[in-house]
Structure 1
């Protein structure tokens, strides 16, 4: 007889609520009233207040001088930084990201798939005055970014359908909002080896992305973002070639990860 699977552990309510609260703050910068937080999360106000005060005392949540508005605390930054500092892929990618930045002179991102979003793990700022604002930890929709499309293209169409709803959020007027249209585009991404964001996440900005093949399906991707005003055919060709070379170098250094 086979060994029976152990029963799944029941979630600890206080732990679940703590995570929900911190993720709520992470998605909404700034300070928020108890009433607004309670309305968004639907938690009992008395329990939520006690949880907030506990997290304030521990440094995970901060409050204003009146003690009535709350936001993410410095402890969250320390934990987030430790994730980046300890990640093997981020460490291995640094020389390649530096080289890619020098070769393209544009903004470079390394990002990881997280559900229906991509999260920036590392960035290299453009050498030009006209450049996009970027930061590590930024979360963007997977369907509106070159990074996300490059990663989605390593999944089957059936997997993409399970991951994404039929109607997708329009980040700009150029965003692909129909899942089936996006799936058709992913076939082209697989064929050409890179994904393209045509001002679908930020107006005036075009991005090129490639997935890193050290896992299947891929979980990490690299992109190059360039203002449309600066994107000549020659510059676009150089960016694509530099991305392909970066992908191949990273495929070698991450092959055992």
Structure 2
């Protein structure tokens, strides 16, 4: 995207044209228009629906004229959609196509499909495969519960790493100091059960390492308990598998079945992802 498309001049143009040759020492300067495009798309991805130009400008603190030109360019390219009035904007269908291509081309997702299917059959509950991304986990694949009472899930959903069994299983593959560098001292309370003290979470991660699995005790969704294990094809792990079950349906016997099935799934995935 050129500076003319976003109304940028001067410093933005220098950032795009003044980057030194590869191997010159300092990393190339970021392209301002590209950075703004990514920030805008991620803003829409985190806030479903349509939003006014004024609201977007307020949230992102971008120059209004530049933001408008960027939005119109992305609308023309299909990355952003607008309503009939042309005054409200949201994520476009092109973003879905790119997101789907990421899932379709991921070797771990492809290799995990038979294991996820078997885990779903063994537990009859909702199954997730997720990847750690900063302080979040992102769903890469799901298998819906066979029961009428079941949680709502979708591929691409992003959840806090500290409030999920998936995230805690992944955090446990990091050292305590790495966890402290990654997370703030006070953590977001998603529900009244969420662990919001980082040091308390660090203590819990020691137990996760010892027992080999993590538990979300209604910390992300009320009425739902989740069990998660990391897939150790790399260290620290970046992917994890979990099983979610409504508390009303969770008996001690069913919990043991879920844990055993998760350990078996982890072992199978460790084999099939060994060379990835």
Q: Identify the TM-score tier after normalising by the shorter chain.
A: over 0.9
Structure 1 residues 4 and 18, CA gap change in structure 2 (3 angstroms): closer
Distance 1:98 1:23 in 2: 31
Aligned partner of 1:187 among 190, 206, 212: 206
Distance 1:5 1:22 in 2: 28
Distance 1:140 1:69 in 2: 26
SS at match of 2:195: coil
* Alpha-carbon offset, residue 3 of structure 1: 9.5
Structure 1 residues 4 and 62, CA gap change in structure 2 (3 angstroms): closer
* Alpha-carbon offset, residue 6 of structure 1: 6.5
Distance 2:26 2:196 in 1: 42
SS at match of 1:83: helix
* Alpha-carbon offset, residue 5 of structure 1: 6.7
Distance 1:210 1:30 in 2: 33
* Alpha-carbon offset, residue 178 of structure 1: 0.1
Distance 1:36 1:242 in 2: 47
Distance 2:275 2:206 in 1: 28
* Alpha-carbon offset, residue 170 of structure 1: 0.2
Moved over 3 A (4+): 2-7
Q: Output one character per residue of 1:139-182: Cα deviation in whole Å (capped at 9) or x when no partner.
A: 00000000000000000000000000000000000000000000
Distance 1:20 1:155 in 2: 28
Give the count of matched residue pairs: 254
Structure 1 residues 234 and 167, CA gap change in structure 2 (3 angstroms): same
* Alpha-carbon offset, residue 91 of structure 1: 0.0
Distance 1:70 1:194 in 2: 42
Q: Which residue of 2 aligns with 1:94?
A: 113
Unaligned runs of 5+ in 2: 1-22
Distance 2:175 2:197 in 1: 17
Structure 1 residues 4 and 99, CA gap change in structure 2 (3 angstroms): same
Aligned partner of 1:235 among 226, 231, 254: 254
* Alpha-carbon offset, residue 11 of structure 1: 0.2
Structure 1 residues 220 and 46, CA gap change in structure 2 (3 angstroms): same
SS at match of 2:150: coil
Q: Which residue of 2 aligns with 1:155?
A: 174
Q: Which residue of 2 aligns with 1:173?
A: 192
TM-score (norm 2): 0.91
The RMSD of aligned alpha carbons is 1.2
Structure 1 residues 4 and 137, CA gap change in structure 2 (3 angstroms): closer
* Alpha-carbon offset, residue 4 of structure 1: 5.8
Q: Output one character per residue of 1:76-134: Cα deviation in whole Å (capped at 9) or x when no partner.
A: 00000000000000000000000000000000000000000000000000000000000
Distance 2:271 2:65 in 1: 54
Distance 1:62 1:36 in 2: 16
Unaligned runs of 5+ in 1: none
